[in-house]
A and B are shown apart, each in its own frame.
Chain A
Amino acid sequence: MSETKPPRNTPSEPSKGGAGRPDAGIAGKLPPPAGAEFDFAIEEITPNERLKEGFTGQER
């Protein structure tokens, strides 16, 4: 069923942060200053659900 509630965050609402400031250029998105560790993590999110169902595929 499709969602009927209005969006909580409409496009006109301000950012909750995390993405930089207006016209701050790249400085606004700069990582922490020297000395701090960057959070450069890249990690797969989704485990392979195909393996859960009890079958690996019997399309006969």
Chain B
Amino acid sequence: MRTLLLFPPQAHPTQPYLCLPSLVAWLRANGFPDTHQRDLNLEAHEWFLAKGRLAVARDRVAAAFAAHPGDRPLPLAEMDRFRVLAEAHASADAVVEGIDDALATLRNEESFYDYDRYLRAVKLLDRAFRLVSAEHYPTSLTPHNYTLSWSIEKEAEVLAAVFDEKANFFCEYFREKALPEIVAMAPDLVGISLTYTSQVIPGLALARMIKQALPKCHVTVGGGLLAYLGEKATRSGKVFAAIDSAIVLEGEGPLLELAKNVAAGKAEPADGVGNAIWKRGDAVVVNPPASPLSIDSLPTPEFDGLPMERYWSPRLALPLAITRGCYWEKCAFCTLYKVIGPGFRQRRLDKVMDDIEAVTARWKSDVIYFVVEDMPPPVFKALPGALKARGLSIQWWTDARLERNLFTDELCRELHESGCRRIAFGFESASQRLLDLMEKGTAIDEAEGILRRLAKAGISNTLYTMIGFPTETREEALQTLEWLRSHRDCVDEVSLRIFYVDHLSKVYEHPDRYGVERILVDPEKDLQVYYDWIPARAGTTLPVVTYHAGSCEPGCDHQTKQVVDGGMSRREARSLFFDFMKVLREEFPLFRGDNLLLFELKSHYFLYLRKYGDLSFLEGKSEVAVAEASPADLRGARLRLPEGNKLVEMPYDLRTIALKLNEAECAVLKPRYQSGNFKEKLFEEMAGQVEAAQPQPNFAVYRARSSDLLHVGKDAARLLAACDGGRSVAEIVAGFAPAQQPKVERFLGELLSRGLLTARPAGAAAPKSGAAGKAARGGGTARDLEVAAAAGDDVRVAEALHLHCKPSAI
């Protein structure tokens, strides 16, 4: 009996996830030693980001860019494709040449903590994702998401996507690499974990392929996402074309029962397995819930079998769960405690110490992420002593509530001594009225003291904050912003989101209690899990439960009332989000420029905190360095473009197109991760509102050192083309009228300071072939006026990471 558990793309491949190691350890400990696991997410990234595969993408994108029409007005619906192709084409050479170095930088302790090198590596990776996406447009892969033109909110489209191997490009990797290896393993049972929405289509496609290749193998799917989607996705029974069964909620017990049934050769292995949904004939069978396990009965997670040395970090942040579920379980907006449950359970601390001891010794890392919804106060109090008693030296972070009477100076000191370096808090709002309405159970007047005591002890904080909870007024939102601004000396990080009604949340189930007149359920979206809503009218009275921050005695009457006084619409909240971000960029170094890239990768962010103790390494830093000092003898210098820089003639002005697309996207309420086919809907909604872009030949330069794209004027482009490394500045300048020469010379110096030229000698002579040389001599295409560089160093670029809130990894 052989079992294979798979973690499909797409998720960020910086660290291993906890889901499979927990299940693998459980099965191995319970009579199924022949259980294996593979992180196909990391492997798929390695497949598409391999230098050779990126070169294929580069050539295909170059052909598509050259074939793109450039002599007619470009309507909104075509702007995005043009922009994606143009930018990917401009960056492609640098990406192909720099990818290996970028990945090595992230995996190496020394280069990782060189912040400039780190940012360049992450920016190059972002460009690599864009190159892969451009090849497969409109499918889009970012470090944080994977979207196709198919909607993830409609069953019919998800199932179509599962069979669309062209749009769902991960199928190339499945077909050519993963599937043959899986078939060779000949598993009897395959389990595919779906934690994120971005895994649904690739995961189900993989399941379908395995079922097809191994008809006797039972293929099941599970994972946190199915707690939201399981019932909806299986209702019609159509999904069973791709899978044999689905397991919702906690997986250990059901998976073990399933394995036993498969091993016993039962014709219907899912029959009788708790939490399982499967199909008998034409009927969908929903089995009764499984009994929750005592999490003390679970073995230490086993990471063996995962490519631990290949994750994109110099040191592994090992995930361990101390609890399952949430001890508070009341927040009106939240669903995590429902999908990870059932019920709150806490692991004995001696078992947790065993876990820490085992995984840190096995994987030679002292970095632990305690995966909890909120660490309970008793654990905070006991953890430092338990670690000390066992002689365990780790550095860790976790999530928590802003609990009153918990974070004393003494406890903060002890937590720091135990290795705690960061705690992420559900802050939500600075309005006590809203905190009460949300049933958050925290007090805003306690927050400052908690954060200051933690800061004094050397523990960094993150505040999860939301805009647009039902009934929130603009003034209340601004009050939250002002609170953050005025506490910037003790707030390190803010993680901001716009509120939406989440399937299974209390707001969804009892909208009338929270100032929601009606939730907008789209009947066509049978897999919808995020909803818009219509606010209750001003004057509506809401019952409110006030928990007095947990200080109440039993029997205390918590009931109060609130009268709704307006409240923002979703659109107003979204608009305010941008005002928030502007202020956050001004006040918090972590939000400035390229620093946001570090902010977006939490395990990397933690490693930096651990290394430097605080955020002082960000002082005065917001962009990668691009400048090159002018040489002492500028006139004698032979300038050329740095390696990877590329000058491209564009048929449309990318500045105009970027602004038009920005305008359109800002007007759309729903983030991409919530719908999948974001772009198509966007174009539909904005059709007729955005004018077409007129043909306008112009020049753009891809700057490899910062991985960004700059518009350059036609004379700047000509000068860049002239700087082929063969002529000195004096020779170039001599070609101009005497009155113009000083200006031209100054401008060449500026091009050095902007990272668009280099004076460093090339390893070889000035390029004599290639598009640049040809273009400079008039033999190349105008469209492809590439100025190939000779030597140099450095790397790359970016912008857009399309982010989404993901449920926890277990």
Hey, which bits of chain A sit against chain B, CB under 8 A?
1-3, 5-11, 13, 15-34, 38-60
Contacts and interface: CB of A to CB of B under 8 A. Distances in A.
Contacts of A8: 66-69
B735 A25 contact: yes
Given A19-B721, A31-B736, A56-B496, A45 B712 contact: no
A1 B722 contact: no
Contacts of B665: 49, 52
Interface in B726-782: 727, 731-732, 735-737, 739-740, 743-744, 747, 750, 754, 756, 771, 774-782
A10 B781 CA distance: 8
Interface of B: 12, 60-64, 66-69, 87, 135-137, 139, 144, 166-167, 399, 424, 464, 494-498, 574, 577-578, 581, 584, 591, 596, 599-602, 649, 654-655, 658-659, 662, 665-666, 671-673, 697, 699-700, 708-719, 721-722, 727, 731-732, 735-737, 739-740, 743-744, 747, 750, 754, 756, 771, 774-785, 799-809
A46 B66 contact: no
A34 to B, nearest CB: 4
A21 B783 contact: no
B649 A19 contact: yes
A49 to B, nearest CB: 3
A31 B12 CA distance: 47
Given A48-B799, A50-B803, A56 B721 contact: no
A49 B782 contact: no
Q: Is the interface of B mostly helix, strand, loop or mixed?
A: mixed
B778 A22 contact: yes
A49 B713 contact: no
Nearest to B674: A54
Given A29-B719, A42-B754, 7 more contacts: A6-B67, A26-B727, A31-B719, A38-B740, A52-B662, A57-B596, A60-B807
9 contacts: A1-B136, A26-B732, A33-B737, A44-B711, A46-B800, A50-B799, A56-B803, A58-B497, A60-B399
Nearest to A15: B782
A18 to B, nearest CB: 5
A53 B672 contact: yes
B716 A41 contact: yes
B776 A29 contact: yes
A55 B63 CA distance: 35
Contact of B709 (A29, A46, A58): A46
Nearest to B733: A26
Contacts of A52: 662, 665-666
B711 A5 contact: no
A33 to B, nearest CB: 6
B783 A16 contact: yes
Contact of A42 (B66, B744, B756): B756
B799 A49 contact: yes
Nearest to B772: A19
A16 B740 CA distance: 27
A3 B67 contact: yes
B87 to A, nearest CB: 7
A58 B713 CA distance: 39
Closest 7 pairs (CB-CB, A-B): A3-B64, A39-B713, A49-B800, A7-B66, A41-B713, A22-B778, A26-B735
A50 B67 CA distance: 30
A59 B602 contact: yes
B280 to A, nearest CB: 37
A59 B806 contact: yes
Contacts of B87: 46
A39 B715 CA distance: 5
Contact of B710 (A13, A22, A45, A54): A45
A46 B712 contact: no
A31 B717 CA distance: 10
A38 B736 CA distance: 12
Contacts of A41: 711-713, 716
A21 B64 contact: no
Contacts of A6: 63, 67
A30 B741 CA distance: 11
Given A1-B167, A47-B659, A55-B804, A18 B717 contact: yes
A57 B803 CA distance: 6
Given A40-B716, A45-B711, A9 B654 contact: no
Contact of B775 (A15, A25, A33): A15
A22 B777 contact: yes
B716 A1 contact: no
A9 B66 contact: yes
A44 to B, nearest CB: 6
A38 B746 CA distance: 13
Given A47-B658, A52-B666, A2 B136 contact: yes
Choose among B87, B697, B721 the residue with the greatest number of A CB atoms under 10 Å from its CB.
Answer: B721
B581 A51 contact: yes
A19 B775 CA distance: 6
B596 A56 contact: yes
A49 B802 contact: yes
Contacts of A9: 66, 781-784
Nearest to B735: A26
B75 to A, nearest CB: 18
A31 B24 CA distance: 68
Given A49-B662, A60-B399, A18 B785 contact: yes
A33 B715 CA distance: 11
Nearest to B775: A19
Contact of B721 (A23, A29, A53, A54): A29
Contacts of B166: 1
A2 to B, nearest CB: 5
A50 B596 contact: yes
Nearest to B494: A56
Nearest to B64: A3
Contacts of A49: 662, 665, 799-802
